[in-house]
Amino acid sequence: MSVLNTEGLKAYYIIDVLGEKRYVRAVDDVDLEIRENEIYGIAGESGCGKTTLIKTLFGMVEPPLNVMDGKVKYKMNAEYADIFAMDNKRMREIRWEYISYIPQGSMSVLNPVQKVRYSFEHFIKAHRRIRNKEEEFIKPVERHLQALGLPVQILDSYPHQLSGGMRQRVTVALATVLQPKIIIADEPTTALDVVMQRGVIQLLKDVQSSLKNTIIMVTHDMGIHANIADRIGIMYAGKMIEEASTEEIFGNPLHPYTQYLIGSLPKIGDKSYKTSAPGAPPSLINPPEGCRFYPRCDRATDECKAAIPKLVEIEPGHKAACFLYSGVKEDE
Amino acid sequence: MSSKLIEVNGLTKVFRVGSLFSRVRLTAVDNVSFDIKDADIYTLAGESGSGKTTVSRIILGLLEASEGEILYKGKNIMNIKSEREKKEFRKDVQAIFQNPFETFNPLRTVENYLYETQKNFLGVDASDSIDGIEQALTAVGLTLDDVKEKYPSEFSGGQLQRISIARALITQPSLLIADEPVSMVDASLRMSIVNLFKELKDRYGLSVLYITHDLATAYYVSDKIAIMFRGNIVEKGSVEKVLDSPKHPYTKMLKESIAQPDPRDKWDSRVDLHLTEREEYMLKGCKFAGRCPHVMERCRTEEIPDFDIDGVTVKCLLYQ
Amino acid sequence: MAVLRELLRDGKFTFAFTVMSILIILAILSFFSPYDMSIWNVVPRDMPPSAEYILGTNSKGQDVFWEMTVAIKNSLIMAVIAAFFSRLIAIAVGLLAGFKGGMTDRTLMSINDSFIVLPVLPILILLGAILKERLNMIVLGLILAIFGWAWDARLIRSQTLSLREREFTNTAMLSGQKVYELIFKEYLPFVIPIVSATAINNMFWAVGMEVTMAILGLSNLTIPTLGTMMHWAISYQAMLLGYWWWIATPVVVSVLLFVSLYLLSVSVSQYLDPRTRIQRIGTAKVVK
């Protein structure tokens, strides 16, 4: 059962440079089906549109970002609701309660001049009417922190008194305090040290297994994906090019880009020669026509230059967008 | 037996932090010693705040050390006063930086830096000869036409890092200091940069001081490694010995914490997280004592000396 | 030329540029003035605008149109001098303080802060009263320059401080650049936008100061400027007597000058902003 769907989602940045309009095709025709009770990883390199994709999934669409086409649907009360058809009030209500967001830098969520307690209070009051503070606010928050293995004392400290990893974990606690059905995490471990990264990932896993909800996790770090994700979608130049279970992505990558990506990952204890894909990712302002990867692909044919391959199921549960496996084109 | 190219002895850097009234002395680099041989890739690894970048900045002369000496080809570079000698050293020891998008001025074309480096160190004007520049660019897989009249914003991170390396190669240095050169480069291009270090070492006998937090690429590329923690080198030796069978409890924990890109190799245990960085710097004795599973009373009070054990140097009383 | 063409795509700039061009042409016309503005009663007094006297004549017996052209010329010259010299001081102080840091920075910034807190208007009134007849446009421009650099020097200093921390400073040093090369090649391109945007603001301020002083009767009233024109018109009760053309001319010209300087400063600083510049540098084709 899917909990979040997109259909032909296109989200472009429109940049006006002194009267000249430019379109940055950050998310270009993406279909997603994210299931209940899974951790879905979105992988890709910087500038491939993965952050834009999750911003759009969260409904955080502000100029210069514009949704050009397509739908994002949440499953609520057994029905699918298109979020772009909702008014702002409804959007505010479901945000954090139904779907929440863990941003890259924790400082944008925690108020730097107030104690952590204040952030929690502010957050909960926006969604719940609190009559009895002790019963309805303090105790549930403390229970929540204890369940996540965080010390309750952090409520009385200021964000700058906590280490970066602790702040990030507080952000996770804050994003999950209303027990959302979907959690979107944008590079939650970037800029943290490896030990801290592990702490944050451990926490996210704990949250997911206790709430049985869905986590959509974006990171460029394939090691993190290998450790936490159930399924992984690989993005390249604004398009989803492969999607499969974590074991399949690492063990049997189909798309040439994914093969390069997986093949180039260094591991401790392995000194064998590894190469990168040649060339560099294309600009999203004028991406190559046809398959976006063909200029860097050593198996490209004339067909790849002419048409865009569609993301289709090649093996059960394993989708790829490549003419090596299927001739299905995107209709444009 | 190859000779020592650079030898760092007892390097210490103390920062004074805090406000005027509550000054705290923070020893960011504490009595660090290591040496790099010719045609050697030496990794200085550690988490943020371990002091690894401070070491590189001191070697490059961008920061002044509080104590210690750096011998480059047998000569203490801390005593260099004359401009001519400084230039000579800078010609021999070049560097590339972490953020390729910040390495070049966004308002200038990148080729300028190539011409300037050639002119200032080799005295060759670009109008007379660009052979050196072309050679350097060829070494990193680019041509002058690729970079001509282009601004940094027109390149990808990987390309910029290549240009940055090419610029450093123009002076034909003996040592290249690379501070987190791939952490901002995309995964699909990362290995091409790392492979470049190997190639340059094999082809030109270049030594590289590779500073990173990424033990996986360190294992892949380097010959020797030193693990830094809160200003100390806690373990150093050949990369296989240190990372295949780590001895220091910190190295062990660091290795276990890496998310291996292999779903068959997931974490199975749990971690405890630690005190803040500042508190650990302030610890007497071993800085890891607060988290170490094998901690003894002496670890907290004594200055820990280095112990040599099967070819690896470890700063831990367990190996006394 | 290409720069101008790009700038002209901006409506604000086009308007300001047109107005400014007209004002400059008028200022140039002053060199062809048939009358000497230091002599009174060369034309009939108090004539309303007509074919012969486009903007009428005033009670001093001077042609208002030609007086206006000379006034624009003088006011602009004064403003340009003030802006130019204050920029020179601001760049020198800002770059030096920001790059050198330490003692140099502290000394320069304490001088700088003293200039920021000095009450400019009372000092100008005092100077005006002392110098009076000896105060020509060049001297006034220089005096205003001395009082007009401090804020911008602080701005340039903080910009330089942040530039010094950026990685390309290290790359430049490793490329063997000397300190002066570093400042001119690496930092100046970032500082120039601040300088040019604030230069226009500074001109704006200088013209305003001159008008204030002249209306108070504290500048050399024998030189026609936008301020002294207003001063004479007011002291001859032009408004009361219905000689609207005499008072309206300097007021309208001043307003046009202020508005166009403001719009120029807005669109030029937008154009020169390093961030938008970097976007433009990455020239790519327009899709769709």
**Residue B252 counted as domain residue:** yes
Q: Is B219 on the interface with A (CB under 8 A)?
A: yes
Question: Looking at residue B13, what is its pLDDT?
Answer: 92
Which among C168, C185, C189 is the nearest to B102, CB-wise? C168
Contact state of B261 with A198 under an 8 Å Cβ cutoff: no
**Residue B258 counted as domain residue:** yes
* Tens-place pLDDT, residues A7-30: 999 999 887 766 677 888 999 999
Q: Is C168 on the interface with B (CB under 8 A)?
A: yes
Average pLDDT, chain A: 87
**Residue B121 counted as domain residue:** yes
| Of A132-136, B255-259, C210-214, minimum mean pLDDT range | A132-136
**Residue B300 counted as domain residue:** no
Tokens of C91: 């760049």
Q: Is A234 on the interface with B (CB under 8 A)?
A: no
Domain count, chain A: 1
| Of A175-189, B7-21, B139-153, C154-168, minimum mean pLDDT range | B7-21
The average pLDDT across A193-219 equals 88
Contact state of B262 with A250 under an 8 Å Cβ cutoff: yes
Q: Which residue of chain B is at minimal alpha-carbon distance from A249?
A: B263
Which residues in chain C are closer than 8 Å to B164, comparing Cβ atoms? 171
Distance from the Cα of residue B95 to its chain's centroid: 10
Question: Looking at residue B276, what is its pLDDT?
Answer: 53
**Residue B316 counted as domain residue:** no
**Residue A123 counted as domain residue:** yes
Contact state of A198 with B254 under an 8 Å Cβ cutoff: no
**Residue A161 counted as domain residue:** yes
* Tens-place pLDDT, residues C107-116: 999 999 999 9
Which among A17, A23, A25 is the nearest to C279, CB-wise? A17
The closest alpha carbon to C26, from C264, C245, C253, belongs to C253
Q: Which residues, in sequence order, are bridge partners of residue A4? A: A34, A74
**Residue B68 counted as domain residue:** yes
On the CB side of A73, CA atoms within 13 Å amount to: 18
Q: Is B168 on the interface with C (CB under 8 A)?
A: yes
The average pLDDT across B177-187 equals 85
**Residue A267 counted as domain residue:** no
Question: Looking at residue B80, what is its pLDDT?
Answer: 82
Whether the complex's predicted ipTM is more than 0.90 is answered with no
**Residue A295 counted as domain residue:** no
Helix (H, G, I), strand (E, B) or coil at A300: coil
Contact state of A283 with C276 under an 8 Å Cβ cutoff: no
Q: Is C276 on the interface with B (CB under 8 A)?
A: no
Res. C43 pLDDT band, cuts 50 70 90: confident
First to last CA, chain C: 28
Contact state of B151 with C278 under an 8 Å Cβ cutoff: yes
Which among A225, A250, A264 is the nearest to B191, CB-wise? A264
The DSSP secondary structure of A40-103, one letter per residue, reads EEEE--TTSSHHHHHHHHTT---TTEEEEEEEEEEEETTEEEEGGGS-HHHHHHHBTTTEEEE-
Helix (H, G, I), strand (E, B) or coil at B239: helix
Chain C residues whose C-beta is within 8 A of a chain A C-beta are 6-7, 9-10, 271, 276, 279-280, 284-288
In chain A, residues 63-92 whose CB comes closer than 8 Å to chain B: none
Question: Looking at residue B250, what is its pLDDT?
Answer: 92
Question: Looking at residue C288, what is its pLDDT?
Answer: 29
Question: Looking at residue C280, what is its pLDDT?
Answer: 56
Could you tell me which chains touch chain C, where touching means 3 or more CB pairs under 8 A?
A, B
Contact state of C175 with B120 under an 8 Å Cβ cutoff: yes
The distance of A180 to chain B (nearest Cα, Å) reads 25
A239's CB contacts (< 8 A; 6+ apart) are: A28, A29, A30, A49, A292, A308, A311, A321
Burial class (CB in 10 A: 0-12, 13-18, 19+), A134: exposed
Residues spanned by the domain of B258: 4-273
Contact C206, C146 (CB under 8 A): no
Percentage, residues of chain C above pLDDT 70: 94
Name which residue leads in pLDDT, C214 or B157.
C214
Which among C7, C276, C284 is the nearest to A283, CB-wise? C284
Which among B191, B194, B244 is the nearest to A269, CB-wise? B244
3-state DSSP of A181-234: CEEEEECCCCCCCHHHHHHHHHHHHHHHHHHCCEEEEECCCHHHHHHHCCEEEE
The average pLDDT across C20-40 equals 90
Residue C47 has pLDDT above 60, yes or no: yes
Name which residue leads in pLDDT, B307 or A130.
B307
* Tens-place pLDDT, residues A90-99: 888 888 889 9
Which residues in chain C are closer than 8 Å to B112, comparing Cβ atoms? 185
Residue A106 has pLDDT above 70, yes or no: no
The average pLDDT across A61-74 equals 88
The average pLDDT across C72-87 equals 94
Distance from the Cα of residue B299 to its chain's centroid: 28
Which among B117, B153, B154 is the nearest to C175, CB-wise? B117
Contact state of B258 with A223 under an 8 Å Cβ cutoff: yes
In chain B, residues 256-275 whose CB comes closer than 8 Å to chain C: none
Which residues in chain C are closer than 8 Å to A22, comparing Cβ atoms? 284, 286-287
Tokens of B235: 């373990």
Question: Looking at residue B10, what is its pLDDT?
Answer: 93
The distance of A188 to chain B (nearest Cα, Å) reads 14
Which among A45, A196, A275 is the nearest to B186, CB-wise? A45
Which residues in chain A are closer than 8 Å to B217, comparing Cβ atoms? 266
Contact state of A23 with C288 under an 8 Å Cβ cutoff: yes
Question: Looking at residue B32, what is its pLDDT?
Answer: 94
Contact state of C9 with A23 under an 8 Å Cβ cutoff: no
Which residues in chain A are closer than 8 Å to C286, comparing Cβ atoms? 20-23
* Cis before A288? omega within 30: no
The average pLDDT across C210-227 equals 88
Question: Looking at residue A37, what is its pLDDT?
Answer: 93
Question: Looking at residue C229, what is its pLDDT?
Answer: 92
Distance from the Cα of residue C85 to its chain's centroid: 11
Question: Looking at residue C279, what is its pLDDT?
Answer: 59
Count of CB atoms within 10 A of residue A64's CB?
12
Which residues in chain C are closer than 8 Å to A285, comparing Cβ atoms? 284-285, 287
Which among A18, A19, A285 is the nearest to C284, CB-wise? A285
Enumerate domains of chain C plus CATH numbers: 2-281 (1.10.3720.10)
The average pLDDT across C229-242 equals 90
**Residue B318 counted as domain residue:** no
Residue C287 has pLDDT above 60, yes or no: no
* Tens-place pLDDT, residues C267-284: 887 777 766 665 555 443
Query: What is the enclosing helix (H) or strand (E) of B96?
Result: strand B93-96
Residue C254 has pLDDT above 70, yes or no: yes
Domain count, chain B: 1
Residue A168 has pLDDT above 70, yes or no: yes
Contact state of B217 with A267 under an 8 Å Cβ cutoff: no
Q: Is B258 on the interface with A (CB under 8 A)?
A: yes
**Residue A141 counted as domain residue:** yes
Which residues in chain A are closer than 8 Å to B273, comparing Cβ atoms? 163, 165-166, 195-196, 199
Contact state of C279 with A15 under an 8 Å Cβ cutoff: yes
Query: What is the enclosing helix (H) or strand (E) of C140?
Result: helix C137-147
Q: Pairing relation of β-strands B93-96 and A231-236?
A: unpaired
* Tens-place pLDDT, residues C190-205: 888 888 888 888 998 9
Which among C7, C280, C285 is the nearest to A286, CB-wise? C285
The average pLDDT across C221-241 equals 90
Task: Please give the DSSP secondary-structure letter assigned to residue A161.
Answer: G
What size, in residues, is chain C? 288
* Tens-place pLDDT, residues A255-299: 999 999 998 888 888 888 988 888 778 888 888 888 999 999 999
Residues spanned by the domain of A115: 106-179
Question: Looking at residue A232, what is its pLDDT?
Answer: 96
Residue B2 has pLDDT above 70, yes or no: no
Average pLDDT, chain C: 87
